[in-house]
Amino acid sequence: MPAPRFLDIEYCQTDDVLFPVAMAWSLEDGQMKTVVIAPADEWIPEDADLGDIDLLYLEEQGVPLIELAQELHQDLPDQTVYVDGMDPDEVLVDLIFTAVSMDAPFEIAGIEELITTMPREELDDRRRQLLSDEGLEPRLPENGVYALLLIAREEGLFE
């Protein structure tokens, strides 16, 4: 049985802007990919307050949106991809694919649609506990995906 697919997105949100800055997703074999995202010019208004986001780093180290979109099309075609539901994931995915005039190759669903044995609040608590137990920084998307993979494994959804 293939592993369920998971996705998590770190993002910048201020009064002026909302855009993704990093993303991680899991593959069929349970492995994970993670990228820093080069923002689209239209996402960042002039004189926007970006908080603690290093725009130069994103521009220099980030994956161009077209490459990210192509990779997601390759890795997650016709999949349901589960998210923790803590972030505006659907909006962020729409921003990415709208910027490159493509449709997302996957559907997003909350983890509670996959794991129905626990109420939503309990899933959130379990995810936070796993992050804490493993000493993982909750803001890193790869850690969010890892925690969801651990929960899915605990629930017997894959080995």
Q: Read off the pLDDT of residues 137-148 as tens digits, 9 standing for 90 and up.
A: 999 999 999 999
The β-bridge relationship of strands 106-110 and 79-83 is: parallel
% of the chain exceeding 90 in pLDDT: 85
Q: Read off the pLDDT of residues 91-137 as tens digits, 9 standing for 90 and up.
A: 999 999 999 999 999 999 999 999 999 999 999 999 999 999 999 99
User: What integer pLDDT is reported at residue 70 of this predicted model?
Assistant: 98
* Domain architecture of the chain: domains with CATH: 6-155 (3.30.420.10)
User: What integer pLDDT is reported at residue 1 of this predicted model?
Assistant: 65
Average pLDDT of every residue of the chain: 94
What are the CA-CA distances from residue 15 to residues 1, 12, 51, 52, 73 (Å)? 44, 10, 10, 13, 31
d(CA 22, CA 36): 4
User: What integer pLDDT is reported at residue 16 of this predicted model?
Assistant: 83
Q: Read off the pLDDT of residues 70-83 as tens digits, 9 standing for 90 and up.
A: 999 999 999 999 99
